[in-house]
Structure 1
Amino acid sequence: MAQVRRIKLGSQGLEVSAQGLGCMGMSAFYGPPKPDSDMISLIHHAINSGVTLLDTSDYYGPYTNEILLGKALRDGLRDKVEVATKFGISVKDGKREIRGDPQYVRAACEASLKRLGVDSVDLYYQHRIDTKVPIEVTVGELKKLVEEGKIKYIGLSEASAATIRRAHAVHPITAVQLEWSLWSRDVEEDIIPTCRELGIGIVAYSPLGRGFLSSGPKLLDELTKEDFRKNQPRFQPENLEHNKTIFERVNEMAERKGCTPSQLALAWVHHQGNDVCPIPGTTKIENFNQNIGALSVKLTPEEKAKLESFASKDVVKGERYATGIPTYKQSDTPPLSSWKAT
């Protein structure tokens, strides 16, 4: 198995494995939750393989994914990993609300610490940006949590370049989590350059295009009825027919290189730079092992350019998310001067 190198994430001192493990699909959104015992075995296997950045959120379940990770980290494993979790999507009586007010930030953090069974979280992200609360107010509370030792580093997820700049001026942001893969490249225009200018690490979620770059259209046949990908625009018949060409081309190149399409797609993300950590999720040890193999796939500049030509912006059909799910495009917050603390 490939050796998992370590990278510096951001410029505040956090070091992580060059590839992380996204834990969401173990508990939520991608079909019914998987058995705890199997998922704990997978997490232990990941740690033993050198993958130490474990990514969760209080929203996954909600709450059950953090509890699962907490169980997996008992018996002395806490010090071997970097735990990343998120706050910001509140679920009450089945209704979802984005929140970034100080009271909520603190309560969410305390609750995550309990569920995870840890004294501090290594990387604490705002999962989605609350557009009612100035980002300075949210990050101001996160800064207090850093000073109290409850969190070590601050992250943002799905934040615009302007939001990132404003947040970073209050307290250094260590990482921005965003969707980045061969077929989701809109972040390259504005957000990636902003992160690099400010010395912020980049964590790429869904680096395999939610599984599409691993198995192509046949992925849809394997999804259970609860799987939220069934409603994603890119997986609808009118777009899928068009998008399958992207997978076919990636697959052809992978065959020529002697690797799998998912290894090739992941290797492309790794080749974006040493400040990028993809966090592919999986629920199967064999898929995990395959993902680790991406670390030893080398791409020439010509191969990288060719891969990019397969999935350029005008080639991919369909939005990343169905309407109603906020992304960085709707993440600007009001000016600090407008805030009246309640």
Structure 2
Amino acid sequence: MISATMGRVGLGCMGFSQAYGPADDDRSILTIRTALDHGVTLLDTAMSYGGGHNEQLIGRAIEGRRASAVIATKFGIVRGADGVRLDAHPDRVAAYCDASLKRLGVDVIDLYYLHRVDPQVPIADTVGAMASLVTAGKVRALGLSEVSPDEFAAARAVHPIEAVQMEWSLAWREPEDDIIPAARAGEAGIVAYSPLGRGLLTGALPTEPFGPGDFRAGDPRFAGETLAANLQVVEALRSKASAYGVSTGQLALAWLLAQGGDVVPVPGSRNPERVLSNVAAAEIELTGDDLDELDAVAPRSAWRGDRRSFAAYNTSRS
């Protein structure tokens, strides 16, 4: 399983380049190196994050430390002067991979994801082109992000799929209905992005309105009465976390890790101290009774807002 080679907690790097407002590159590099210093190996990025900036940043951060990092990057979402589009045409997959290798400054990508399925291209054709990269020694393993069970099955029929990535957290549990069981049946690991609910589950959202460049301003889960209802659930979690002597965010990560040894969350943070807090969550052991209590205080039915109604979901999110 992927957790055996990637550690229990990875680092989601998108926020260093987009989605949460301006970031300082020097501090971002410090954060990445702090993560590596404390046992994080999986660095999750994509060619689309910052239009290539994110991969370049990671390349700088891992210089001289390549052996310590498991690099996962993605293709299929293209950002350019004309906006954001999907492109997973098999004729262009190799060029996208070569560009990522150059930006990252590495000879091989450990885990190469299809970021989103291109509706104009059968997924089997795209994965066939990805498989050629494995044969060429440019990629070690293949992954898929935000796919349906049928898409996963079609991809797996062409080449083994090492990991399936989706948004999954205590506050967003819909993947449990379909893709997670399918991935497990197909022996793929589970990589959970936004495992802290895009900051909601940390209990530390900014008190002011979201600033320029922070796409949570358009997410219905973070607006008006919906946000107020979600914050009430977070308060219940805060009380439970306090009883355990951990932070709300650590408890949320521990819940996710307790869902199985095949689960690797990739929380993102631009704060080195927060990265250390996230890593420490792997030391929290929750019993079956603990999980039952969490389901009681923060049941799936209590959360409000549907990310699928956010128009930018298919292309802007991780």
TM-score normalized by structure 2?
0.95
Question: 259, 280, 285: which is aligned to 1:272?
Answer: 259
Q: Aligned-pair distance for 1:224?
A: 2.0
The whole-number CA distance in structure 2 between the counterparts of 1:231 and 1:26 is: 19
| Alpha carbons 1:231, 1:322 under 8 Å: kept | no
The reply to whether residue 66 of structure 1 matches residue 55 of structure 2 is yes
Question: 43, 59, 62: which is aligned to 2:32?
Answer: 43
| Alpha carbons 2:238, 2:248 under 8 Å: kept | yes
| Alpha carbons 2:219, 2:310 under 8 Å: kept | no
Q: Aligned-pair distance for 1:220?
A: 5.0
The reply to whether residue 54 of structure 1 matches residue 43 of structure 2 is yes
Which residue identity lines up with residue 273 of structure 2 in the other structure?
A: E
Question: 231, 237, 243: which is aligned to 2:218?
Answer: 231
The whole-number CA distance in structure 1 between the counterparts of 2:172 and 2:42 is: 22
The whole-number CA distance in structure 2 between the counterparts of 1:172 and 1:211 is: 33
Partner of 2:7: 17
Where has structure 1 moved over 6 Å in runs of 4 or more? none
Partner of 1:340: none
The whole-number CA distance in structure 1 between the counterparts of 2:189 and 2:259 is: 12
Partner SS for 1:170: coil
Q: Aligned-pair distance for 1:221?
A: 2.5
Partner of 1:331: none
The whole-number CA distance in structure 1 between the counterparts of 2:30 and 2:81 is: 33
The whole-number CA distance in structure 2 between the counterparts of 1:137 and 1:273 is: 32
| Alpha carbons 1:266, 1:278 under 8 Å: kept | yes
CA gap of 1:241–1:87, structure 2 versus 1, over 3 A, is: same
The percent of aligned pairs where both chains have the same amino acid is 43
Partner of 2:201: 213
The whole-number CA distance in structure 1 between the counterparts of 2:298 and 2:119 is: 32
CA gap of 1:70–1:20, structure 2 versus 1, over 3 A, is: same
Partner of 1:153: 141
Question: 268, 271, 293: which is aligned to 1:281?
Answer: 268
Question: 3, 26, 30: which is aligned to 2:20?
Answer: 30
Partner SS for 1:178: strand
**Unpaired runs of at least 5, structure 1:** 1-7, 329-342
| Alpha carbons 2:18, 2:213 under 8 Å: kept | no
Partner SS for 2:111: strand
Matches within 5 A, 1:136-215: 136-215=124-203
Partner of 2:97: 109
The whole-number CA distance in structure 2 between the counterparts of 1:321 and 1:165 is: 23
Q: Aligned-pair distance for 1:40?
A: 1.2
The whole-number CA distance in structure 1 between the counterparts of 2:191 and 2:60 is: 24
Partner of 2:307: 320
Partner SS for 2:29: helix
Which residue identity lines up with residue 286 of structure 1 in the other structure?
A: E
Partner SS for 2:305: coil
Q: Aligned-pair distance for 1:312?
A: 3.1
The whole-number CA distance in structure 2 between the counterparts of 1:165 and 1:293 is: 35
Q: Aligned-pair distance for 1:321?
A: 4.6
CA gap of 1:118–1:222, structure 2 versus 1, over 3 A, is: farther
Partner of 1:310: 297
Which residue identity lines up with residue 176 of structure 1 in the other structure?
A: V
Q: Aligned-pair distance for 1:324?
A: 2.6
Which residue identity lines up with residue 55 of structure 2 in the other structure?
A: E
TM-score normalized by structure 1?
0.89
Point out the more displaced range, 284-293 or 34-43: 34-43
Q: Aligned-pair distance for 1:79?
A: 1.4
The whole-number CA distance in structure 2 between the counterparts of 1:78 and 1:208 is: 27
1:36-78 C-alpha deviation (Å, 9 max, x unpaired): 2211111111111110100001111011010000111112x11
Partner SS for 1:61: helix
| Alpha carbons 1:181, 1:206 under 8 Å: kept | yes
| Alpha carbons 2:29, 2:61 under 8 Å: kept | yes
Which residue identity lines up with residue 202 of structure 2 in the other structure?
A: S
Partner SS for 2:106: coil
| Alpha carbons 1:233, 1:321 under 8 Å: kept | no
| Alpha carbons 2:236, 2:298 under 8 Å: kept | no
| Alpha carbons 1:139, 1:170 under 8 Å: kept | yes
* RMSD over aligned Cα atoms: 1.6
Point out the more displaced range, 170-179 or 319-328: 319-328
The whole-number CA distance in structure 1 between the counterparts of 2:163 and 2:314 is: 16
Partner of 1:131: 119
Partner of 1:332: none
1:81-115 C-alpha deviation (Å, 9 max, x unpaired): 10000000112323211111112211111110000
Question: 65, 69, 73: which is aligned to 1:85?
Answer: 73
Q: Aligned-pair distance for 1:138?
A: 0.2
